[in-house]
């Protein structure tokens, strides 16, 4: 990614250092009661309670025995490494832009380095239908279509196979979350009939000034759920709800890291909270991760679920259209907006 701009380094050297607590932190949950048909109802009830506690107290958790065959993860991770090992010229042949926000992007061209990484984005449903703009009166729709590089040859197949496995896991998790909220198991599934989910390859090169930049700055995820595969280098940190401290998420072999997004927060009427997280860079080692972002259909109106509101617990959010919300978020990747990025608190009652 090149050298860090000296002027930028000088500016950041005056910023306060980031305090980190290294701890196992987020709950580690065994999903085997879902996979093993011989498990009892009490095992499933215990699993649902664990999921509920993790969503309420952390907004994050790791899962093991999740049913995703290791071969699919290994195949896509190898394909991602091969892609990022290509020359910059070759990777830029599939660069994303405002017309097509899917493909390759890095932060090398920016002086104010905010995120020290390069990415490759792809949609899960190809094509994916979304609103053409964030403007409420604009009814036009557009198709997002994946850009596939010439190499590695197996990349497309690896992505499509892995995405299918991620969808299966996402629906399992969605159903557990519904049960933990006291809802019917499939209560949330209908919002995802024409889902707008996407995947991302992240590559974080070694950074000569790791204390001055972030792999990804502090943020919350706007969708429903995120399922993250990270390598053994680590770097993800979660803001602990109890005291606001940043907790390092120690990599667990073959586990997936799950976090609830803003949509779950709204649907649950703040019972479950989307939590801030960030990624630190490493001075010596490159890091790879692959998040899967589960998002509903573009025509979905997001609001607190009627079963979870009453006179004692009234709705805390106005309804908003996911497609328009998503279009606004993606638009901010390519244009400097005069207003802050749209957030769910803009819809708070």
CATH of the domain at 60: 2.60.120.330
Mean pLDDT of 217-236: 94
User: d(Cα 316, Cα 67) in Å, to the nearest integer?
Assistant: 36
Mean pLDDT along residues 38-55? 88
pLDDT (average), residues 65-74 = 96
Residues 6+ apart with CB under 8 A from 188: 174, 175, 177, 178, 224, 267
Whether 24 is in a domain gets the answer yes
Q: Which two tokens stand for residue 319?
A: 């309804």
pLDDT for the residue numbered 161:
97
- 320: in domain: yes
Cβ-proximal residues to 96 (8 Å cutoff; 6+ apart), any chain: 102, 103, 104, 105, 121, 147
Angle at 67 between CA 65 and CA 123, to 5 degrees: 125
pLDDT band of 112, cuts 50, 70, 90: very low
Q: Which tens digit of pLDDT belongs to each residue from 191-212?
A: 999 999 999 999 999 988 777 7
Query: Residue 97 falls within a domain, yes or no?
Result: yes
Least confident stretch, 130-139, 170-179, 180-189, 274-283 = 130-139
Residue 76 lies in a domain: yes
- Mean pLDDT (the chain) is 88
Summarize the chain as % helix, strand, coil (round to 5).
Answer: 30, 25, 45
Indicate the number of domains in the chain: 1
307 located within any domain: yes
pLDDT band, residue 18 (cuts 50/70/90): very low
DSSP string, 168-225: HHHHHHHHHHHHHTT--TTTTGGGGTTB--EEEEEEE---S-TTT-BSEEEE---SSE
Which of 87-101, 169-183, 292-306 has the lowest average pLDDT?
87-101
Determine, yes or no, domain membership for 334. Answer: yes
283 is in which domain, residue-wise? Answer: 6-347
Whether residue 104 has pLDDT greater than 70: yes
**Nearest of 73, 95, 220 to residue 149 by alpha carbon:** 95
Classify residue 1: in a domain, yes or no: no
CA–CA separation, 158 and 89 (whole Å): 23
Measured distance CA(291)–CA(32) in Å, rounded:
22
Does any domain span residue 279? yes
pLDDT higher for 108 or 64?
Answer: 64
Q: What is the mean pLDDT of residues 25-40?
A: 82
């Amino acid at each position: 990614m090149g050298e860090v701009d000296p002027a930028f380094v000088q500016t950041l050297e005056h910023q306060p250092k980031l305090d980190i607590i290294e701890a196992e932190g987020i709950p580690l949950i065994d999903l085997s009661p879902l996979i093993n048909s011989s498990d009892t109802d009490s095992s499933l009830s215990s699993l649902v309670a664990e999921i509920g506690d993790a969503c309420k107290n952390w907004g994050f958790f790791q899962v093991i025995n999740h049913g995703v065959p290791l071969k699919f993860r290994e195949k896509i991770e190898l394909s991602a490494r091969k892609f990022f090992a290509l020359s910059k010229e070759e990777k830029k042949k599939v660069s994303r832009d405002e017309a097509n926000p899917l493909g390759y992007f890095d932060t090398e061209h920016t002086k104010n380095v905010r995120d020290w990484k390069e990415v490759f984005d792809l949609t899960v449903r190809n094509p994916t239908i979304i609103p053409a703009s964030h403007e409420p009166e604009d009814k036009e729709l557009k198709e997002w279509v994946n850009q596939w590089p010439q190499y590695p040859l197996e990349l497309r197949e690896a992505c499509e196979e892995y995405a299918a496995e991620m969808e299966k896991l996402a629906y399992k998790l969605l159903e557990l979350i519904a049960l933990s909220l006291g809802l019917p198991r499939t209560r949330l599934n209908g919002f995802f009939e024409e889902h707008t989910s996407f995947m991302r390859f992240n590559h974080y090169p070694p950074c000569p000034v790791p204390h001055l930049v972030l792999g990804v700055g502090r943020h919350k995820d706007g969708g429903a759920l995120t399922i993250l595969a990270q390598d053994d280098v680590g770097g993800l940190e979660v803001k602990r709800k109890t005291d606001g401290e940043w907790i390092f998420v120690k990599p667990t072999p073959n586990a997936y890291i799950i976090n609830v997004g803003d949509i779950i927060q709204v649907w649950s009427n703040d019972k479950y909270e989307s939590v801030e997280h960030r990624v630190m860079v490493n001075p010596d080692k490159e890091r790879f991760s692959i998040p899967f972002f589960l998002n509903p259909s573009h025509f979905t109106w997001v609001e607190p679920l009627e079963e979870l509101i009453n006179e004692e617990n009234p709705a805390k959010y106005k309804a908003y259209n996911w497609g328009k919300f998503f279009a606004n978020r993606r638009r901010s990747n390519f244009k400097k907006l005069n207003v802050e990025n749209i957030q769910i608190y803009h819809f708070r009652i």
